[in-house]
A and B are shown apart, each in its own frame.
Chain A
Amino acid sequence: DAGVIQSPRHEVTEMGQEVTLRCKPISGHDYLFWYRQTMMRGLELLIYFNNNVPIDDSGMPEDRFSAKMPNASFSTLKIQPSEPRDSAVYFCASGTGTLNTEAFFGQGTRLTVV
Chain B
Amino acid sequence: AQSVAQPEDQVNVAEGNPLTVKCTYSVSGNPYLFWYVQYPNRGLQFLLKYITGDNLVKGSYGFEAEFNKSQTSFHLKKPSALVSDSALYFCAVRDETGRRALTFGSGTRLQVQP
Q: Point out residues on A near B: beta carbons under 8 Å.
A: 4, 31, 33, 35, 42-43, 45, 48, 50, 55-56, 91, 93, 95, 97, 99-100, 102-108, 110
Contacts and interface: CB of A to CB of B under 8 A. Distances in A.
Nearest to B95: A99
30 contacts: A4-B43, A33-B102, A42-B104, A42-B106, A43-B90, A43-B107, A45-B101, A45-B103, A48-B99, A48-B101, A50-B100, A55-B99, A55-B100, A56-B101, A91-B43, A91-B44, A99-B32, A99-B94, A99-B96, A100-B32, A100-B49, A100-B51, A102-B34, A102-B46, A102-B49, A105-B43, A105-B44, A106-B43, A107-B42, A108-B42
Contacts of A55: 99-100
B102 A108 contact: no
Interface string B39-53: 001111110010100
* Nearest 10 CB-CB pairings of A with B: A105-B43, A100-B51, A43-B104, A105-B44, A42-B106, A102-B46, A107-B43, A48-B101, A45-B101, A108-B43
Interface residues of B, number: 23
Interface of B: 32, 34, 36, 41-46, 49, 51, 90, 94, 96, 99-107
